[in-house]
Structures are given as structure tokens and as C-alpha cells.
Amino acid sequence: MRRIVVGFLGCGNIGCGVWKLLKEFDADLLHRSGVQFDIKRILVRDVHKKRDQMVPQELLTTDPAQVTDDPEIEMVLEFMGGETPATEYMLRALEMGKTVVTANKMALALNWHLLQAAAEKHGSGLYYEAAVCGAIPIIRTTIDSLMSNRIETMMGIVNGTTNYILTRMSQEGGEYADVLRDAQRLGLAEPDPTSDVEGFDAAYKLSILSSLAFHARVPFSVIYRQGISQVDAVDIGYGKELGYTMKLLAIAKRDGNVIDARVHPTFIPNDHPLASVNGSFNAIFLHGHACDDMMLFGRGAGSAPTASAVVGDMLYAASRETPRHPTFNNTDALAEGLQVTDNWQCSFYIRLNASDRPGVMAHITTCLGNEGISIRNLVQRDAVDGCAQIVMITHNAGECAVRKALAAMASDDVRVESMIRVEGK
Amino acid sequence: MRRIVVGFLGCGNIGCGVWKLLKEFDADLLHRSGVQFDIKRILVRDVHKKRDQMVPQELLTTDPAQVTDDPEIEMVLEFMGGETPATEYMLRALEMGKTVVTANKMALALNWHLLQAAAEKHGSGLYYEAAVCGAIPIIRTTIDSLMSNRIETMMGIVNGTTNYILTRMSQEGGEYADVLRDAQRLGLAEPDPTSDVEGFDAAYKLSILSSLAFHARVPFSVIYRQGISQVDAVDIGYGKELGYTMKLLAIAKRDGNVIDARVHPTFIPNDHPLASVNGSFNAIFLHGHACDDMMLFGRGAGSAPTASAVVGDMLYAASRETPRHPTFNNTDALAEGLQVTDNWQCSFYIRLNASDRPGVMAHITTCLGNEGISIRNLVQRDAVDGCAQIVMITHNAGECAVRKALAAMASDDVRVESMIRVEGK
């Protein structure tokens, strides 16, 4: 039996989940791995706050050094969330030679280069399966199982809140604001939902995932980001009619040294594996040159599923004699030699409001034709008040060409209502 | 740079795929892992056979000892398939202290205890990600990422051939024999399809997966097995009407010390993640006490996807100073203290052909009621030639009770046409 003394940084929802899993499952963990984890100290903001689990009062402290600097503590688990002071505390723990296991995508995505440098300099281990998509083993899969692949595409539903909202909008035909309010009432969306609904959370995760997948640093700052707050229920409805489901996707593609990295509402065909990932579930779909298509589906958040990943990392770290570090030069800038394009290629869903007059359709199609864009599907509804709704899906085209065409067709007779990227075909 | 000398046992479809991946991707592998794999010797049956890849003639041998006994060879990759002589050769390699990476589910499922004992005795590594579901990292996920879970259910589509056949039967309404012939013509089913269509292949994989998931040996011999050769297109059609998709599932459940382990055609609700796994794709759905629901989806066979898993294992083995062994006592018998039940609980789809006469429905429902079985859905079609088709889905019931009820209702007036288990609700 090997005893590993552990300290927590933070003890909210995830911390309590880890406490519970370690305590209730300790005999099994010991039996399976030969390791016993002893929790010695827990950093909290308020030692008197009531907690879910029976965490003993005497373990709590408000002094981070009691966790990061205690020579007996070998492993530090970070559950504070947010960029600061979590980053500073993790840096300190790594500098003290401790293994750090974190569930903090924001601190990791923004300061990974600093954390990694400290880990390498001091021979410490840094583990972060829980930081991306909860229980889903996408980090381990990418760095272990898929090491023999050139990953060309990664597309994920990596935020449960937005997937819950879009699923309900799609199933019930509800409006964004109403469903969001409901999600907030149910505790599935934060009182300030910005990080989720504007795609920040997804972009942090995409930065981490795409860096690992491409073996080259893709910083948060280069990721294009568009949230779901402007999504119109009308478009979800038209998409449905045409056989598409709307999801907020985090997409990374690589073609030679050129990459896309973007988060935006996306239509995918109903028969795509990601289309049936509903509610607060997460999933990552990827394509590698050897493995072909693959998808990992599961709980991307929640106390127990996140704890599953944290304790998985703890056992993994305990089983290794030397820590493993990423294969790439981890800087705060885009990897040298890589280029990020904002002219990605995909299909586009376009909804127009057009005057019901001769020549208007010719104007629209001419604007598309001038940019080399061809139409795959087109639906025109009966005109109401002299205006027709035109919905179309293009063949593969470049983002820049589509933007140019839409700018050219906008006029007194044509209003561009929405443009949504279509992936997965 | 570390150089690892490698020998192949076998060089068919998978062996050639591994050769190709190692050769074409060697610069990337070296850059990512610091390891260079040198292929020194390849055991084949016929050195003169034409091969897909440009495998140099001088590496080929028909003498297994040139692979298993060469002191320079550190890693032996086994792609022969079948129980013998693959098992003997692997045993020899393990006894010689070599790391063995195998894609052979049959040899592993039937002789795992022997292979594991040899590996442990001689400090050798034994890796088998490629033996179960090709590129899908289900082995690594189960033994690494989910180590912190009590896995309660594992349900998988683990055989691509049968999934291809059932998908086409479902989509086109075709009969089993016709679709099988077509699959054989396309090379998606073997000339002798027994191992696939009768569920042997799936049961080998389930034995391996359930042993790892339950941390207790579940031998092949205790697995209930029913293939798809008796599946009637009529039932697939009725299932569709009722909202169910038919899949050949490998199912393992654990409740305390009692387990189910079974392979049979199964109806699952259309909104279950497994229902949309079509064609030759594989997927494993599981539920753990901490991670909740999870599914891994991907290519379960094929040259490149299997090579992806083999090379992933090679890199994983190369990165570890000491091999890891399963957490359980690996014997050829069911783990002590475990019980296998054949009275599993699920819903049941039942199709009857019944005389269109007063009292017949009363007889049917009385037989069910006597065994405590209640009906969830029932459809009765107009009688043709005095016989009505009755299709029903029961609420949760025990297998034994259902068999008893069906035996009791069979009579001159009632013919039991099919009984199919329903899972996933």
C-alpha cells in the first residue's frame, strides 16, 4: 500500500464530489491500485460555510500555503475555478514539486504555458482530464490512444448549458430568452450566463483540445467565437424541416499548417452522431488519419462525473514514475509555422427576407454566383405583406466569399436574417 | 531517441496496416514520443504471398522462434488471429520477457489467464486495445479513466458485420439471408460467417470487457449467446413502428455479486445513443456510479483503425517503466464470489400468431398475468386467414418468467413467433 497525502484548493460542488468519491470508494480504490489517498488540508474561502459532505472542520484553512507549501502533501487538487488566484496557487504547488490535478479549464487555457513550464522545470505532474468535458476521457484518449494519428478534425458539444438550451428550443420550439430563464431556474445556467452562452467556456476547452490534437499550441486568443444568444427559433425550425439539428459546436480542423479553430452555432445533419447528443450531455467527434471517425459521449459536468475524472487522474498520476508532458512547445502564442484561417470551408444556411418582386431572386443568385457559391437546397415561402422568406443551404464555400455575397445582396429589397454554418457532411 | 526492435507474428490485413502506419508516420511518432520502432522480423505462413504493402522479403520468416526468441526483439505484435498457435507464440514471447501487443480477441478471451500469468511471472507487458473494437479506446478508458467507478452496465455494438447486416435490414426491409449474401460479396462478412453472425466474436469481446469493467474474471464460457441468423425482418419492422431499433448487443450488468453477461439481438429505443450507431461502426455504452452514462463510438475493425490501436499500445507500453496488470485474479473460471444469472430483468418484445377467436386473448393475458408480467404496449393486426398478429412489449420482467409464460400460452390457438429482449429504458 502506498499512501499519498492530498490537499484541496477549493471545496465547492466538485471538491465535495471528489471528497465523497474518495471516501465512499476508498476500499475499492485501494484494492484496485494499491494507493490510499489521505486528504490533509482543504483551502476554502469561508471555513464556516455549510457544505454538502461531512468534510471535517479541522481540515479547512483559508491559507493557501497550508496546501501548496506543506512538504507532506504530494498531490494538490484544484477546484477553485477562474483564472486567479487559482493559477498562482497551482504554480506554487508545481514549483514545490507537487502533482497538480485541476478541473479548471479557464486557468489552464489562459496560463497553460506558465503551468507547463513550472511542471517541467520542477519535475512535477500536471493533469487536467476534468478540465474538459467532465467524465469523458477525451484528454487521455487524445494524448495516449490517438498518439498514432494525425487528427484532422475535432468537433465537440463541450458545453452542457448551451446544449440543454438548444435541445429544448429544438424540441419545444421555444424562444432563447424563455428557455434560458427556465435553465437558470433549474440551476442548469448561471445567474450570469455569459461564459456559457457566449461560447467562452467552449473556446477555453477548444484551445486545450486542439493544442493536444494538433501537437501545437492553439491559444484561446486565436479562436473565433460566436455564442447562442442571437439564435432565432425560426432558424431552428427551418433547419429541422431541412434535416438539420442546431448545436453550439467547438470546431478545430487542420490541413497541413493551416488550422480553423472556432465556436459557433452550427447545423449538422440529423444522422450525424453529434445530432442526437441532447440535453446537458457533451460529446466530441473526431477524425484521425488512421482511426477514422470516432466519438466520445458522456457527462460534461456535474459533481460526480467531474470527480470521476479527477480521481481517474489521481490514480493515473500515482501509477507513473515520471510525469508526462505535452509533445509541443507550450507558449502563449500560436505555434510557430501554424496559420489560423478565418476563411474556413463549409456549407452555409442562409435566411433572407426579400421583396416579392421580379428581379429580386436574380439579384440574390447573381450575388452568390459572383462569389462562386452554389446552392444545394432552396425553400421559398409564400409572401406575407409583400415579403418572402427565402431559406437556402449552399454547397461547400469559403466563409469570406459568403460574407462578401451577403454584403452585396443586402439592399432595400433583401434583408439577410441569418447565416449559420453547416458541418458534418 | 530510444530504439525499440519489433517483431510481427502474422502479416495479413492488420499487420500490413501496422507496417504502413509505422513507416509513413515514423517521423511524427519519433517527434512525439522519442521512440523509433525498427521492424526486424515478420512471421508469415508463406513468404512468397503477394502483400499489400512493400514489406521487404528479407524480413519474412516461417520460423516463429526467429521472432519470439530473438534477444534483440523487445516487442512482439501478434496479428495471426485464432486460438492456436497464436497463444503458444505469445506465451513464448512473454516468457522471453518481451512486451506483447495483440489484436487477437479469441486467443485473449480463451487463454487470458495463461497469458497474464506468463506476463506477471516474467515481468512482461501484455496489451490488447486492438483486440476489442478496433480504434475505440475502450480498454484504456476502462482500466485508466474509469478506475474510480463502479461500472454497473456495459452494452456494446461490438461486431461490425452484424451491425452492417441489421442496419441494412432495418433501412431497406431486406431479409437476413439476402443482406448476408450482399455483405459477403462486399467483403464485409466472411465466407463462413458463423463467428460473427452467431455472436462468438461479440462474446469473446464481452468476456474481456466485462472482466475489466467488473474487476473480476468473466470467462467466455458463462456468456449467454444468441446470434442474428434467426432474426426475422418482420420483427425489425414492428420494432420500428413501436420506436425501437434492433441491434446485436453484448450486455454485461452487475448488481452486487450477481452478473448478467449475454449477447443477443436486442431492441433499444430510437433515442438511445446506441440506436443511431449504423453500418459497420461499433460503440460501447456504459454506466458508472460516478461518471453516469458514457458512450465510445468508432471503427471497430479495418486495417488502419486496428493499426491505430496497435501503435497506440506500442507507444503506451514504451512510455511505462513497469507494465501494468489487471486488478483481478485472472483465472479460467468465473471469479470467486460472483454469480451469473440467466434470469436477467428487462422488457420483452413478443410476437404471437393467434387464432381470431373469443377467449384467445384472455388465455394469452392470463398466462402473462400468472407470471406477474404486465404489458406496456400491444398492437393487434387485422386477422388474415383467421389468424391475428399480436405484438406486445412488456414492462420489466424476468427472463425465466417470460419463458414460462410463453411455454404456457403456446397451444393450437397461439404460436409464439418471436421473443426479443428490450434494453435501454
**The CATH number of the domain where B395 resides is what?**
3.30.70.260
What is the pLDDT, as a whole number, of residue A381?
84
CATH of the domain at B26: 3.40.50.720
Chain B residues in contact with A315 (beta carbon < 8 A): 144, 147-148
Task: Choose from A33, A212, A308 for mutation: most chain B CBs within 10 A.
Answer: A308
**Based on the domain organization, do A229 and A364 belong to the same domain?**
no
Name beta bridge partners: A5: A38
Peptide bond into A56 cis (omega under 30): no
b/e B128-138 (16+ beta carbons within 10 angstroms → b) = bbbbbbbbbbb
Higher pLDDT pick, A157 / A386:
A157
Nearest CA to B263 out of B166, B198, B175, B194 is that of B198
Structural domain contains residue B317: no
Q: Are residues B289 and B164 in the same domain?
A: yes
Predicted local distance difference test score (pLDDT) of residue B383? 78
Q: Which of A211-215, A414-418, B25-29, B45-49 has the lowest mean pLDDT?
A: B45-49
Let me know: does A212 contact A137? Beta carbons within 8 Å: no
Do B184 and B110 lie in a common domain?
Answer: no
* A302 near B CB under 8 A: yes
3-state SS assignment for residue A386: coil
For chain A, state the CA radius of gyration. 24
Phi/psi class of residue A231: alpha, beta or left (left: φ > 0; alpha: ψ in -120 to 50)?
beta
DSSP state of A44: -
**Quick one: CA torsion of B14, B15, B17, B20, rounded to 10 degrees?**
180
Chain A contact set for B304 (CB, 8 A): 289-292
Condensed to tens digits (0 to 9), the pLDDT of residues B192-219 reads: 999 999 999 999 999 999 999 999 999 9
The domain boundary, picked from B131, B166, B181, lies at B131
Q: Report, as residue numbers or ranges, the catalytic residues of B.
A: 205
In a domain, B340, yes or no: no
Domain shared by A163 and A96, yes or no: no
Q: List chain A residues with CB under 8 Å of B129.
A: 145
Whether residues B114 and B258 fall in one domain = no
In a domain, B233, yes or no: yes
At CA A129, angle to CA A123 and CA A131, rounded to 5? Answer: 105
CB atoms within 10 A of CB B229: 16
Residue A236 belongs to domain with CATH number: 3.30.360.10
- Claim to verify: residue B103 and residue B158 sit in the same structural domain: no
3-state secondary structure chain B: CEEEEEEEECCCHHHHHHHHHHHHCHHHHHHHHCEEEEEEEEECCCCCCCCCCCCCHHHEECCCHHHHCCCCCCEEEECCCCCCCHHHHHHHHHHCCCEEEECCHHHHHHHHHHHHHHHHHHCCCEECHHHCCCCCCHHHHHHHHCCCCCEEEEEEECCHHHHHHHHHHHHHCCCHHHHHHHHHHCCCCCCCCHHHHCCHHHHHHHHHHHHHHHCCCCCHHHCEECCCCCCCHHHHHHHHHHCEEEEEEEEEEEECCEEEEEEEEEEEECCCHHHHCCCCEEEEEEEECCCEEEEEEEECCCHHHHHHHHHHHHHHHHHCCCCCCCCCCCCCCCCCCCEECCCCEEEEEEEEEEECCCCHHHHHHHHHHHCCCCEEEEEECCCECCEEEEEEEECCEEHHHHHHHHHHHCCCCEEEEEEEEECCC
For A398, the 3-state DSSP assignment is: strand
Direct distance between the N- and C-terminal alpha carbons of chain B, in angstroms, rounded to an integer: 52
Supply the range of the domain harboring residue A358. 345-422
Determine which one of A20, A105, A121, A205 is catalytic.
Answer: A205
Query: Does A296 contact B at CB distance below 8 Å?
Result: yes
Residues 6+ apart with CB under 8 A from A316: A127, A140, B144, B145
**Residues A44 and A173 placed together within one structural domain of the fold:** no
**Over the stretch B94-153, which tens digit does the pLDDT of each residue have?**
999 999 999 999 999 999 999 999 999 999 999 999 999 999 999 999 999 999 999 999
Distance CA B82, CA B108 (A): 10
What is the end-to-end Cα distance of chain A in Å, rounded?
52
**Does the residue A339 lie in any domain?**
no
Of A101, A131, A161, the residue that ends a domain is: A131
Contacts (Cβ under 8 Å, ≥6 apart) of B45:
B62
HSE toward the beta carbon, residue A63, CA cutoff 13 A:
5
Q: Which residues of chain B fall below pLDDT 70?
A: 52-53
Same structural domain for residues B153 and B295?
yes
Neighbours of B369 (CB within 10 A): 13
State how far the Cα of B409 lies from the Cα of B367, in Å rounded to an integer: 6
Instruction: Based on the fold, state whether residues A201 and A260 are members of the same structural domain.
Output: yes
Query: Which of A:21-40 have CB within 8 Å of B?
Result: 21, 25, 28-29, 31-33
pLDDT tens-place string over residues A323-361: 888 889 999 999 999 999 999 999 999 999 999 999 999
Cell digits of residue A125: 505532474
A341 Cα distance to chain centroid: 20
- Residue A192 belongs to some domain of the structure: yes
One domain, residues A361 and A215: no
C-alpha angle B332-B337-B340 in degrees, rounded to nearest 5:
70
Q: Which residue of A has its CA nearest to B270?
A: A276
ipTM exceeds 0.90: yes
Question: Is B276 in Cβ contact with A273 (below 8 Å)?
Answer: yes
pLDDT tens for residues A242-254? 999 999 999 999 9
Q: Which pLDDT score, from 0 to 100, does residue B425 have? A: 73
CA-based torsion, A259, A262, A267, A269: positive or negative: positive
Regarding whether B104 and B24 lie in a shared domain, the answer is: yes
Grid cell listed for A177: 430568452
Return the number of other C-beta atoms located less than 10 Å from residue A355's C-beta.
17
Number of Cα atoms under 13 Å in the Cβ half of residue A333: 4
Question: What are the C-alpha distances in Å from A119 to residues A4, A96, A277, A330?
Answer: 19, 10, 36, 12
In a shared domain, residues A75 and A188: no
Nearest to residue B235, comparing CAs of B156, B159, B348? Answer: B348
Contact A404, A348 (CB under 8 A): no
The C-alpha atoms of residue B323 and residue B346 are separated, in whole angstroms, by 40
Domain count, chain A: 3
Residues A107-123: tens digit of each pLDDT: 999 999 999 999 999 99
Closest CA to A41 of A18, A9, A78: A9
Q: How do residues B347-363 score in pLDDT, each as one tens digit?
A: 999 999 999 999 999 99
* Segment A261-282 mean pLDDT: 96
Fill in the amino acid letter for B33: S
pLDDT at A301 over 80: yes
Under DSSP, the state recorded for A48 is T
Angle CA B94–B65–B314, to nearest 5: 45
Global pTM exceeds 0.95: yes
Helix crossing, A176-185 with A160-172: angle to 10°? 130
Interface test with A, best of B16, B136, B245, B291 (most A CBs within 10 A): B291
The answer to whether residue A287 is domain-embedded is yes
Spatial separation of the C-alpha atoms in residues B159 and B280, rounded to whole Å: 8
Length of chain A in terms of residues written: 425
Q: Pull the grid cell for residue B282.
A: 461499433
Confidence of residue A318 (pLDDT cuts 50, 70, 90): very high
Q: pLDDT band for A178, please (50, 70, 90 cuts).
A: very high
Distances from the Cα of B239 to the Cα of A307, B197, B235, B270, B378, angstroms: 38, 20, 6, 10, 12
Is residue A413 included in any domain, yes or no?
yes
User: CB distance A129–B150 less than 8 Å?
Assistant: no
Contact list in B for residue A141 (CB cut-off 8 A) is 137, 140-141
Put simply, whether A311 touches B (Cβ < 8 Å) is: yes
Query: Rounded to whole angstroms, how far apart are CA atoms A18 and A27?
Result: 15
Cβ contacts of B327 within 8 Å, gap of 6 or more = A31, A32, A33, B215
Q: Name the 3-class secondary structure at A402.
A: helix
- Establish if B20 belongs to a structural domain: yes
A285 pLDDT exceeds 90? yes
Residue A53 has pLDDT above 70, yes or no: no
Query: Considering CB atoms only, which of B290, B296, B308 is closest to A148?
Result: B308
Report pLDDT for B53: 66
Residues of chain B numbered 98-157 and touching chain A (CB < 8 Å): 129, 135-137, 140-141, 144-150
Cell (9 digits) for B256:
452486487
Of B131, B156, B182, the domain-final residue? B131
pLDDT at residue A382 in the model: 80
